[in-house]
Amino acid sequence: MAAVLAMGLSASPAAPQSNVPLEVIGPDGQTSVMTRSEIEALPQSEILTTTIWTDGTIRFSGVPMARLLEHAGAEGTVLIMTALNDYSIEMPMGDLEADAPIVATRMNGQPMSVRDKGPYWVVYPFDDHPKYQTETTHARSVWQLARISVIE
């Protein structure tokens, strides 16, 4: 069993996992499961920035989280973002700006593998303003995002 698991892991290529879905859950429990291609079919935004986790300036692209939630019909006042590693953080939806953060699906045009903080990474325009260089913003910059739940 362990050997099979180890083989499975070592055999899995660094290739982007385009089929890992993102769940968006409304306050009533209504769930939208979105694939990367569905997310990328929504109007896209780009953020050009450095991050404290990566080297150099990166062009992130994806959909603004506010727009994604609107598309999913997930309205409310508080959400929780949960990552594949079960990291989670709550935030008031009033803190969502029209263009920040984005749910990034690509770095420099390339889909992100799970080992590359993908397939979805919550990204702010960190370089644009000191307000994006805070511990609060860093804690909301969830990589390997798996789920956004509007809880109230």
Q: Which residues bind Mo ion (CB under 5 A)?
A: 139
Binding partner selected for residue 142 from ligand MTE, Mo ion, none, CB under the kind-specific 5 to 8 Å limit? ligand MTE
We find the least distance from the C-beta atom of residue 121 to ligand MTE, in angstroms, to be 8
User: What's the chain's Rg over C-alpha atoms?
Assistant: 15
Residues that bind ligand MTE (CB under 6 A): 53, 83, 85, 87, 135, 138-139, 141-144
Burial class of residue 44 (count of CB atoms within 10 Å of its CB; 0-12, 13-18, 19+): middle
Q: Which is nearer to Mo ion, 42 or 89 (CB)?
A: 89
Give residue 52's Cα distance to chain centre. 16
We find the least distance from the C-beta atom of residue 136 to Mo ion, in angstroms, to be 9
Binding partner selected for residue 71 from Mo ion, ligand MTE, none, CB under the kind-specific 5 to 8 Å limit? none
Binding partner selected for residue 103 from ligand MTE, Mo ion, none, CB under the kind-specific 5 to 8 Å limit? none
We find the least distance from the C-beta atom of residue 112 to ligand MTE, in angstroms, to be 12
**Do 95 and 101 contact (CB within 8 A), yes or no?**
no
- The first and second tokens of residue 49, run together, are 């920035």
Binding partner selected for residue 87 from Mo ion, ligand MTE, none, CB under the kind-specific 5 to 8 Å limit? ligand MTE
Binding partner selected for residue 83 from ligand MTE, Mo ion, none, CB under the kind-specific 5 to 8 Å limit? ligand MTE
Distance from C-alpha of 100 to C-alpha of 63, rounded to nearest angstrom: 9
We find the least distance from the C-beta atom of residue 118 to Mo ion, in angstroms, to be 20
Q: Which is nearer to Mo ion, 135 or 152 (CB)?
A: 135
Residues 6+ apart with CB under 8 A from 113: 14, 15, 16, 17, 119
User: Tokens 């990552």 appear where?
Assistant: 83
Q: Side chain identity at 60, as an amino acid letter? A: F
